[in-house]
Amino acid sequence: MNVAASFAKELLSPVDADEDGMPIVQPTSAGRHGISPTLVNLPSLDEESMWIISQLKEENRTGTPWKDMAILYRSYYPVGQTFERKLKAAGIPVSSKKEVRFTDDQDTVKLITIHSSKGLEFPIVFIPDIGLMPDENCVSEEEVRLLYVAMTRATSRLMMTSHRNSSFTQKLQLAIGGK
């Protein structure tokens, strides 16, 4: 079982249907293979952005097109806004869902909300500020489902960062293997 399924299985229980009317079943692995997910704890959101920018640049330098990478965030303020500003300042081509409609010919890093990522897939996915979850306005199970959706958008590599400790970061550390 992969990390996303392991994490979500502990926290989600099957129910009749979600808001889309689709039956909810216990999460299982989609059979994807790749590098084990990473969760990196850093001192601040600025440090998270600098670490992710360095990872993006290294992936691109070693041959990964920008369009094969995405940053999925929980809320625009402050996370999405910080990343949009810092990516542009670092010279990384970026497209956000609020600006344009994504197309396959855009060689840009996609910067989108977790809600908007449903149905999309990218070889490399970054999820910053995991410690922000769960949002105090949402029921924890909703947040688990949302994070599960985000985690399963990665087809090869998933990298998450946090500068706050939360129940999610603790459970993810255990699912990853106590790293």
Give domain limits for the chain: 37-174
Q: What is the pLDDT of residues 48-83, one digit of tens each?
A: 999 999 999 999 999 999 999 999 998 888 899 999
SS3 assignment for the chain: CCHHHHHHHHHCCCECCCCCCCCECCCCCCCCCCCCCEEEECCCHHHHHHHHHHHHHHHHHCCCCHHHEEEEECCHHHHHHHHHHHHHHCCCCEEECCCCCCCCCCCCEEEEECHHHCCCCEEEEEECCHHHCCCCCCCHHHHHHHHHHHHCCEEEEEEEEECCCCHHHHHHHHHHCCC
pLDDT at 26: 44
CATH number of the structural domain 37-174: 3.40.50.300
Lowest mean pLDDT among 14-28, 54-68, 85-99: 14-28
Question: Average pLDDT, stretch 146-153?
Answer: 88
